[in-house]
Amino acid sequence: MAREKLLINEIVDPLAARVIVDEGAGDPDLVARFDVAGVPRVDGFLVGKQAAAVPTMVTRLCGLCPVTHHLAGIGALDQLVGVAPDAGARQVRLLMHHGSVLDVMGPRLAAPRGRADAVALRMLGKKVLALAGVPGHFPSVATPGGVRVAALPGNQEELREEIRQALPAARGIVEGLLAAAGEDPQGWQAYEGADVVVANERGEWDPLGGYIRVTYNGKAELVPAAAVPARIRETVLGSITPRPQLLFDGQWLAYRVGPAARYPGLAVAKAQAQSLLDSLGAIGELLKEPLPKPGEGVALDATHDGSGVGLVDGPRGLLIHHYTVEDGVLFRCEILSPTAQNEPWLAAMLSRAYREGAGTEAMELAVRAADPCLPCTQAPPGMMNIQVVRAGE
């Protein structure tokens, strides 16, 4: 076997977060921005692939939020085939979502309380995911219009009972997080744009709903999933920081997504803790009774051409998958992540911290508030390695 020598000339700190300052920026309110070079766009990688394989493939392209991408991709294919999941399949998908919220956010938010609490939330999230057919990191459960029954575990009742018994202790942990979460006395996280969440036809928050609910200046509007792409434009087309805007009441607005958008009246740390509490409550409701047998959905073939839009309000906020399929092959793909959508809000918070000389501590709080999908957010409080650099360095 031939040997190859690899030269390592750079050590990358996974907990580092680069803030790029550009005093000559056109907008004086946006002189600092977060470097999201570690979050490449994956749209182009999927074009030309078989549409049926895309929701599983995309989980490998984004390893930090694989469940959310899987569900958004399947949501787009649901729309494409014109078949909605039945109650049983929707229940499995909701368990996948809420399990991923505990798995992704729980350990990070609970870390200040100690390792035991962080591990408890992660293990509970893993058990919920296992019950929904995701025993490992990468899911392959949902199908167009349903789920793969074969993916579900044989010990459902045993897992269901273990989860139900663990819920009270988990609620105690998260209620403690909510009580201890700090306020935002200086208004660092204040926001003047629109707040966007996923909702059902009644406007109620629903992480797998078929609408987005846009709220701005006391007004609200429901936009069906199929109409969402026409209501969002990228002001920096194709960039990893596309600076998207949303058309609302005749004007293009900046907007944000995630727990802060769901609970704009709360400091972001409290909103994030509340989202954990919501998922625990939802899991308890979903598991009051044994899981019904879910529908298998339909097979995707070349007759299912057209467009589909999948929406998921994941742990970090709204994820959009928009597919156009021809002859069973993905002809066009647009994916807009929570990281990309919240980047302008993060830039505004970082710029204020820089202008007012608040230092890296305020910048770290800003990064944690916007919660980009990067390893630096896993750093313990106060340990994020914020590096402030000048544009061009």
User: Could you list the pLDDT tens digit for every one of the 393 residues in the chain?
Assistant: 456 654 454 445 677 889 999 987 777 778 999 998 767 788 888 999 998 888 888 888 777 789 999 999 999 999 999 999 999 999 999 999 999 999 999 999 999 899 999 999 999 999 999 999 999 888 989 999 999 998 899 999 999 999 999 999 999 999 999 999 877 656 666 788 999 999 999 999 999 999 999 999 999 999 999 999 999 999 999 888 899 999 999 999 999 999 999 999 899 999 999 999 999 999 999 999 998 989 888 877 766 889 999 999 999 999 999 999 999 899 999 999 999 999 999 999 999 999 888 889 999 999 999 999 888 888 888 889 999 999 876
46 in a structural domain: no
User: Annotation-wise, does 333 bind a ligand?
Assistant: no
315 in a structural domain: no
Identify whether residues 169 and 230 lie together within a single domain: no
| 3-state percent helix, strand, coil for the chain, nearest multiple of 5 | 40, 20, 35
Identify whether residues 124 and 152 lie together within a single domain: yes
pLDDT, position 87: 94
Identify whether residues 204 and 139 lie together within a single domain: no
pLDDT, position 391: 84
Identify whether residues 88 and 149 lie together within a single domain: yes
331 in a structural domain: no
Identify whether residues 115 and 175 lie together within a single domain: yes
- Provide the residue range defining the domain that includes 105: 84-184+265-297
204 in a structural domain: yes
Identify whether residues 252 and 386 lie together within a single domain: yes
Identify whether residues 135 and 147 lie together within a single domain: yes
CB-neighbour burial class of residue 331 (10 A; exposed 0-12, middle 13-18, buried 19+): middle
**b vs e for 276-291, b when ≥16 Cβ sit within 10 Å of the residue's Cβ?**
bbbbbebbbebbeeeb
On whether the CB atoms of residues 363 and 346 are closer than 8 A, the answer is no
74 in a structural domain: no
In SS3 terms, 141-181 reads as: CEECCEECHHHCCCCHHHHHHHHHHHHHHHHHHHHHHHHHC
Model pTM?
0.93
Radius of gyration of the chain (CA): 21
pLDDT, position 30: 82
58 in a structural domain: no
How many structural domains comprise the chain? 2
Identify whether residues 279 and 149 lie together within a single domain: yes
User: Annotation-wise, does 373 bind a ligand?
Assistant: yes
pLDDT, position 64: 79
241 in a structural domain: yes
Identify whether residues 245 and 370 lie together within a single domain: yes
User: Annotation-wise, does 74 bind a ligand?
Assistant: no
List the alpha helices (DSSP H) in 62-200.
Answer: 66-81, 87-110, 115-131, 156-180
User: Annotation-wise, does 376 bind a ligand?
Assistant: yes
Identify whether residues 168 and 197 lie together within a single domain: no
6 in a structural domain: no
pLDDT, position 3: 64
Identify whether residues 159 and 245 lie together within a single domain: no
* Dist CA 111 CA 119 (whole Å): 9
* Dist CA 194 CA 4 (whole Å): 53
* Dist CA 333 CA 182 (whole Å): 40
